[in-house]
Structure 1
Amino acid sequence: MIENYLKWHSPNLGKEFEMLVFGDKGFPMLLFPTSMGRYYESKDFGLIDAIRWFIEEGRIKVYCPDSIDAESWYCTDISPAQRAFNHHCYDKLLREEILPRMEDETGYQRIVAAGCSFGGYHAANFAFRYPDKVSYLLSLSGIFDIKGRVDGHYDDNVYYHNPMDFMPGNQHEDLWRMGIVLGVADNDVCRHSNEQFSRLLTEKKMAHWLDVRPHTSHDWPAWREMLPHYLSLIK
């Protein structure tokens, strides 16, 4: 399996940024780490091995970016407004620095956005903000409401990066073209969040699959089962 390590100076973050890329062709997938996870987390916890067949067969090319959660939503040493602004800068990095690379290297103009736990938030936020650039959303045990990380603060950066808030009024036509999977364990701290967001999508008449996995919990063994299953459904 081809693996490439990338490092560059991000103008949007004003610092060095790292990413791992697996494969050399196929549908591009942006795979986010969990809370404060690093770009190598999906490899270290066996998630890349779980989808190795898809990579080696040229079905997908996987981009694993670093996170800056420790400098944004999870950083209690800075103001909530600064947390939200820092995430906004991260979003610009994804949109302006990583997405064009994915398009150029694979020839695809739309991608798969995926992630586990807080990575599911990142995937959903990116997908719903840019539905013209995302064909499939695979959120595994994700959350969809970020307000618990901003201590009651509210501004445009919070609103526009909070799917529970901006999605009810989001009428972008490509939302109804997106393949959406909300995967969650039956014994999962994020189950209620997924069921709540599923109701929101249902009210908008957006087709999606709420997959509640029996006899599982919020952890890597469940995600290693979910992700290859979901990828097998992509046409």
Structure 2
Amino acid sequence: MKEQHHKWYSPTLSKDIEMLVFGHSGYPVILFPTTMGKHNECKDMKLVESARWFVEQGKIQIYCPDGINELSWYNKNIHPSQRAKNHEWYDQFILNELVNPICNEKGLHKVAVAGPSFGGYQASNFAFKHPEKVSHMFSMSGAFDIKSFVDGHYDDNVFFNNPIDYLPGNNHPDLWKMKIILGVGEWDICLEANEKMAKILRDKNIPFWYDVRKWAKHDWPLWRDMFPEYLSKL
């Protein structure tokens, strides 16, 4: 399985960013790490390995960028408004330094996004904010409400990065074209969050697959089972 390491200075984030890319060709899948994870986490935890067949067959390429949650939602040393602003910059980084160049290089209009746990939030938030750029969204035990990270503060950057809040009023036509999977375990700490998101999608008549795994908890073995199955839907 071909693996490439990239490191560059991000003008959007004003810091160095690293990324691993797996595969030699195929449809692009942006795979976000969990809460404080970096570019190597999904490799180290064998999530990329679970997709080896798709990668080696040239069906997909997996892009694993750094997360910056320690500078945004999880940074208790700065004001909540700055936490939200820092995440908004991360969203713009993903759009302008990752997704748009990948689409230009491959001659595509859209990519797939995926992630486990807080990576499921990242994937869903990016997809629901930019549905014109996302063909498939695979959330594995994701959460979709970040108000607990902003200590009661609320502004536009919080609203527009909180899918539970903005999705009900988002009527971009590409939302109804997107292939959406919400995967969660029966014993998952994020089960309730997925129930709420599923209701929003149902109320809007947006097609999706709600995949609740019996006897499964919020952990990597569940996500390693889910990821290759979801990729097969590509």
> TM tier, shorter chain?
over 0.9
Matched residues in 2 for 1:153 and 1:24: separation? Answer: 44
TM-score normalized by structure 1? 0.98
Q: Specify every segment of 5 or more residues in structure 1 that has no aligned partner in the other structure, as ranges.
A: none
Q: Give yes or no for the alignment of 1:121 onto 2:126.
A: no
Q: CA RMSD in A?
A: 0.7
Aligned match of 2:135:
135
Q: Secondary structure at the match of 1:37?
A: coil
Aligned match of 1:53:
53
Aligned match of 1:183:
183
Query: Cα offset for 1:104?
Result: 3.0
Matched residues in 2 for 1:105 and 1:225: separation? Answer: 31
The amino acid that maps onto 2:22 is F
Q: Give yes or no for the alignment of 1:150 onto 2:147.
A: no
The amino acid that maps onto 1:206 is I
Matched residues in 1 for 2:222 and 2:101: separation? Answer: 30
Matched residues in 1 for 2:154 and 2:52: separation? Answer: 41
Q: Give yes or no for the alignment of 1:86 onto 2:74.
A: no
Matched residues in 2 for 1:146 and 1:60: separation? Answer: 30
Aligned length: 234
Matched residues in 2 for 1:55 and 1:43: separation? Answer: 13
Aligned match of 1:77:
77
Q: Secondary structure at the match of 1:168?
A: helix
Matched residues in 2 for 1:121 and 1:177: separation? Answer: 20
1:155-177 deviation per Cα after TM superposition (whole angstroms, max 9, x unaligned): 00000000000001000000000
Aligned match of 2:14:
14
8 Å CA contact 1:118, 1:142 repeated in 2? yes
Matched residues in 2 for 1:54 and 1:26: separation? Answer: 9
Q: Specify every segment of 5 or more residues in structure 2 that has no aligned partner in the other structure, as ranges.
A: none
Segments ≥4 residues shifted beyond 4 Å: none
The amino acid that maps onto 1:75 is N
8 Å CA contact 1:110, 1:133 repeated in 2? yes
The amino acid that maps onto 1:49 is E
Matched residues in 1 for 2:89 and 2:190: separation? Answer: 26
Matched residues in 1 for 2:88 and 2:196: separation? Answer: 25
Q: Secondary structure at the match of 1:71?
A: coil
Q: Secondary structure at the match of 2:210?
A: strand
Matched residues in 2 for 1:233 and 1:11: separation? Answer: 35
TM-score normalized by structure 2? 0.99
Aligned match of 1:233:
233
8 Å CA contact 1:26, 1:106 repeated in 2? no
Aligned match of 1:95:
95
Query: Cα offset for 1:233?
Result: 1.7
Q: Secondary structure at the match of 1:30?
A: strand
Query: Cα offset for 1:15?
Result: 1.1
Aligned match of 2:106:
106
Matched residues in 2 for 1:106 and 1:228: separation? Answer: 23
Query: Cα offset for 1:81?
Result: 0.5
Aligned match of 2:168:
168
